[in-house]
Amino acid sequence: MDHGGGAAPARRGSRGGPGRRLRRGDVAERGVLISPTKKQSSVITRLWLQQHKPNRHHETLSEDVCPGRCELQRICYNTKPGAARTMKIEASLKGSKSKRLQTSVSVHPDAIEKTIDDIMELKRINPDVNPQLGVSLQACLLQIVGYRNLIAEVEKLRREPYDSENPQHEEMLLKLWKCLKPNSPLKARISKQWCEIGFQGDDPKTDFRGMGLLGLYNLVYFAEWDTEIAQQVLSDSLHPKYREVTKKELSQLSKAEWEKKKFDKAIGYSFAIVGINITDLAYNLLVSGALKTHFYNVAPEAPTLTHFQQTFCYLMHEFHKFWIEEDPLDIMEFNRVREKFHKRTLKQLQNPEMALCPHFAASESLMNM
């Protein structure tokens, strides 16, 4: 009977014949299907499990079983370079069932190349067929390992106290003064002049207790490499500016509020003390992992102490503008303003494409990773 030119339906065949549908447990013997007995099926299942059971010398992951590319390949091929890719790779490695993959995020930087080879071997990826994957994974691991090492380096500086008997410490402190007040020589090491750049007393060493040398390192970097902005922020902190009130805000003020506003004074702050406080803010952003977004977007390879100090410069300048915008009633509002600024920064860093310092942009090589 003609079925519209299509092939005639297959007849139901004999046992094992071509017309019978395959059933679970069927095995092939010389091209003929044989349905095993219940006992035979159990033996076949055990043999299959023994052949596919992972051992110490051949680790397998659940994601390897899926057809096509493994998770690391999918991330590298489907996500552009930067924080989005690196953070996904980091999460994948940390969440792996393989100890070798879990520990790959904490290897020594010199061992990264060998670690990439191990990952490729473990995931059964041919580097000759997938050469770009190795390059991408290496870039991600350099950032991941570099971030961990940066935390250790920053923590070491934070824990090192300022020592007035250490010539290097003293030299850095005097350098801070010269950068901020180039036309006003310091008359003595112990002097009330230190209050002019925002220290609390006549000897700054007592103000570094909270952040150790890290606070001094950051202040010196800001004063030396962003001198113009640092001097302007210092000047504004001593001679605070009023925030310009918009016409809309004026229209919403009552007569009593307007009278109060006319006699309201702009509030300044202690430059050096705030710098140490913003150092604490930057430190907490780093240790909490919040700065990964920023560093993975601006550092093509491992983020360094310089990247951290550049971030401090940005935060110091932004906090200064935020302080003016908030127009606090007095210095007692500092903690409120700081906390609000901290929350705003955290929100910005939730964007995987965020780079806090636009003038410290990543190099073009990042786009080729």
Reported as a single tens digit per residue, the pLDDT across 91-121 is 999 999 999 999 999 999 999 999 999 999 9
pLDDT at 212 over 90: yes
The per-residue pLDDT for 257 is 57
Q: How far apart are CA 43 and CA 24, in angstroms?
A: 14
Would residue 107 count as lying in a domain? Answer: yes
Number of domains in the chain: 2
Q: Whole domain around residue 258: which residue ranges?
A: 167-350
Written as one string, the DSSP assignment of 40-64 is: HHHHHHHHHHHHH--BTTB---HHH
Q: Which segments within the chain are labelled E, that is strand? A: 27-29, 32-34
Would residue 137 count as lying in a domain? Answer: yes
The per-residue pLDDT for 160 is 97
pLDDT in tens, 154-177: 999 999 999 999 999 999 999 999
The per-residue pLDDT for 321 is 93
> Which residue, 117, 146, 136, 112, is CA-closest to 296?
146
Q: How far apart are CA 140 and CA 86, in angstroms?
A: 5
| Residues 253 and 327 occupy one common structural domain | yes
Would residue 361 count as lying in a domain? Answer: no
Q: How far apart are CA 221 and CA 215, in angstroms?
A: 10
| Residues 145 and 182 occupy one common structural domain | no
